[in-house]
């Protein structure tokens, strides 16, 4: 089935609206909330209400993370659905500001997890919640199979115990999607995700982290002590299927990793656009119709960065398109995330270098974008983990065979 890599016509308006929001609402307050870390951006409430209105009216779909869900009806033909609209919308929003986009009410990565694996009843019940996602623990980072937080069945509840770190929107959200194991001895297959309301006894936000970038987004440490969660809050099936292994939990990543790739692509695009303008002001004009070797070193470098960006952008589109068309996309999702994560860091740092003192000082946002972009190469699976997943898929090896 061929893939048309032009922006689908039905999403052009969404993309353009997101770009206008990024330019007129996010960019003007970007530096303010970078400096005021942990202060809640009240301007996001109005923006979130606007997005809610667009989605409820059907005018827009998938403007944020909540739009990610695979189509269930198995239709034929080339489908561009919520995964494609989400990556296009998020890309434009992150052109404005990554931290503010991550801090958008009801658009958290936990919402993507709910949309990815929840059943229809749960989708309806958790509609409108703002969900953060709690995976990482003090004892591990990207190897999610090492989850040590436990969930023990007790009547019609599960009792959760453990600690989660680096929880995006962990303080501001009103619920947390917590990854926990039902039986550590059964390995990956026993890992399930639970929606835990923030007012649940035993859930405690321990502290907020001070970070290199995305300072407009709060990042929390959360502990769970005998935290009782209704059994119906377990997302998907409660059955432990050893044959399926970690596939159920990984379905979340297959949908969220293209989203993270779109964040990196958007941030990198912002840096390239501004750098091109600043170079032009300095008399360096980039000619896209001439070979790079016939142009100045600065112009040649920008052309190389543009080429790298294009590769990340196309991989992001491919991964989202495959999800919309119900094709297994674990390989492509990891490829997109790995490429975009690295390109985001390389592009933003290179743009700082190209613009010299202007790039390094706070007069422009280039140095901020360089700081913001680094996390996009780390969370939702580091660069190294993505390369490992890609190698396993390409070579046909299991996680036990290739570590």
Q: What is the pLDDT of residues 152-179, one digit of tens each?
A: 999 999 999 999 999 999 999 999 999 9
Same domain flag for 200 and 279? no
Same domain flag for 109 and 149? no
CATH value at residue 33: 1.10.540.10
Q: What is the pLDDT of residues 324-377, one digit of tens each?
A: 888 999 999 999 999 999 999 999 999 999 999 999 999 999 999 999 999 999
Per the prediction, the chain carries an average pLDDT of 90
CATH value at residue 349: 1.20.140.10
206 is a catalytic site residue = no
Residue 58, Ramachandran bin (φ over 0: left; ψ between -120 and 50: alpha; else beta): left
**pLDDT score of 291:** 95
DSSP states of 148-198: --EEEEETTEEEEEEEEEEEETTTT-SEEEEEEES-GGGGGGGEEEEEEET
Q: What is the pLDDT of residues 294-303, one digit of tens each?
A: 999 999 999 9
- Which range of 36-50, 181-195, 357-371 scores highest in mean pLDDT? It is 357-371
CATH value at residue 187: 2.40.110.10
Helices (H) and strands (E) counted in the chain, each on its own, are 13, 7
Q: How many CA atoms lie within 13 A of 336 on its CB side?
A: 31
240 in any annotated domain: no
Q: What is the pLDDT of residues 101-114, one digit of tens each?
A: 999 998 888 888 88
Q: What span, in angstroms and rounded, lies between the C-alpha atoms of 154 and 398?
A: 34
Residue 94 has pLDDT above 90, yes or no: yes
**pLDDT score of 242:** 64
Same domain flag for 269 and 202? no
What mean pLDDT is predicted for residues 186-213?
Answer: 95
Same domain flag for 161 and 263? no
Taking the alpha carbons of 23, 29, 34, 39 in that order, is the dihedral positive or negative?
negative
Q: What is the pLDDT of residues 270-293, one digit of tens each?
A: 999 999 999 999 999 999 999 999
**pLDDT score of 64:** 45
Domain count, the chain: 3
Query: Are 181 and 149 in contact, with CB atoms under 8 Å apart?
Result: yes
The residue whose two tokens read 């009806």 is: 73
Residue 256 has pLDDT above 70, yes or no: yes
Same domain flag for 69 and 138? no
Residue 305 has pLDDT above 60, yes or no: yes
Q: Domain boundary residue among 106, 125, 144?
A: 125
238 in any annotated domain: no
Query: In which element (H, E) is residue 308 found?
Result: helix 297-324
The model carries a pTM of: 0.93
- The residue that leads in pLDDT, 54 or 342, is 342
242 in any annotated domain: no
Query: Are 219 and 134 in contact, with CB atoms under 8 Å apart?
Result: no
In residues, how long is the chain? 403
Query: In which element (H, E) is residue 222 found?
Result: strand 219-230
Q: What span, in angstroms and rounded, lies between the C-alpha atoms of 341 and 383?
A: 7
**pLDDT score of 78:** 76
Q: Domain boundary residue among 99, 125, 151?
A: 125
Range of the domain at 138: 131-233
Same domain flag for 176 and 141? yes
Q: What span, in angstroms and rounded, lies between the C-alpha atoms of 245 and 144?
A: 13
Per-residue CA distances from 19 to 216, 328, 348, 369 (Å): 19, 30, 19, 17
Per-residue CA distances from 147 to 135, 142, 184, 197 (Å): 8, 10, 8, 20
Residue 5 has pLDDT above 70, yes or no: yes
Same domain flag for 220 and 324? no
Among the listed residues 92, 137, 332, 380, the single catalytic one is 380
> Does residue 395 sit in helix, strand or coil?
helix
Q: What percent of the chain has pLDDT over 70?
A: 91
Same domain flag for 146 and 182? yes
Least confident of 117-121, 214-218, 304-308, 345-349: 117-121
Phi and psi dihedrals of 193, rounded to 5? -115, 145
Q: Domain boundary residue among 210, 233, 256?
A: 233
Q: Tell me the angle at which helices 366-374 and 27-35 cross, rounded to the nearest 10 degrees.
A: 70
Query: In which element (H, E) is residue 228 found?
Result: strand 219-230
Same domain flag for 187 and 164? yes
């Amino acid at each position: 089935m061929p893939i048309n890599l032009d922006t689908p016509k039905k999403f052009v308006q969404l993309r353009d609206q997101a770009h206008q929001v990024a330019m007129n609402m996010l960019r003007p307050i970007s530096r303010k909330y970078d400096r005021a870390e942990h202060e809640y951006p009240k301007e996001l409430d109005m923006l979130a209400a606007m997005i809610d209105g667009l989605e409820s009216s059907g005018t827009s779909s998938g403007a944020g993370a909540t739009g990610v869900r695979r189509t269930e009806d198995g239709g034929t033909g080339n489908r561009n659905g919520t995964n494609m609209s989400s990556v296009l919308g998020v890309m434009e929003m992150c052109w404005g500001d990554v931290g503010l986009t991550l801090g958008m009410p009801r658009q958290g990565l936990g919402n993507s997890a709910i949309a990815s694996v929840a059943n229809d009843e749960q989708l309806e019940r958790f509609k409108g919640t703002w969900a953060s996602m709690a995976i990482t623990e003090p004892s591990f980072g990207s190897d999610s199979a090492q989850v040590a937080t436990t969930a023990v069945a007790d009547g019609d509840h599960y009792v959760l115990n453990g600690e989660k770190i680096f929880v995006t929107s962990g303080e501001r959200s009103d619920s947390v999607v917590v990854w926990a194991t039902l039986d550590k001895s059964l390995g990956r297959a026993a890992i399930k995700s639970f929606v835990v309301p923030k007012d649940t006894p035993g859930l405690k936000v321990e502290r907020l982290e001070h970070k290199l970038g995305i300072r407009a987004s709060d990042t929390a440490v959360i502990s769970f002590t005998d935290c009782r969660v209704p059994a119906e809050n377990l997302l998907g099936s409660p059955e432990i299927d050893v044959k399926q292994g970690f596939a159920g939990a990984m379905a979340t990543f297959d949908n969220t990793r293209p989203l993270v790739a779109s964040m990196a692509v958007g941030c990198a695009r912002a840096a390239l656009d501004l750098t091109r303008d600043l170079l032009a002001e300095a008399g360096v004009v980039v000619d896209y119709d001439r070979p790079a070797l016939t142009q100045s070193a600065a112009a040649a470098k920008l052309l190389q960065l543009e080429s790298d960006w294009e590769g990340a952008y196309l991989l992001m589109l491919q991964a989202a398109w495959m999800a919309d068309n119900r094709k297994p996309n674990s390989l492509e999702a990891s490829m997109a995330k790995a490429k975009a994560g690295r390109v985001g860091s390389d592009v933003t740092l290179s743009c700082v270098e190209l613009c010299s003192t202007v790039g390094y000082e706070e007069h422009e946002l280039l140095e901020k974008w360089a700081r913001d972009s680094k996390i996009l190469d780390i969370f939702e699976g580091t660069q190294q983990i993505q390369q490992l997943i890609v190698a396993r898929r390409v070579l046909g090896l299991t996680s036990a065979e290739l570590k």
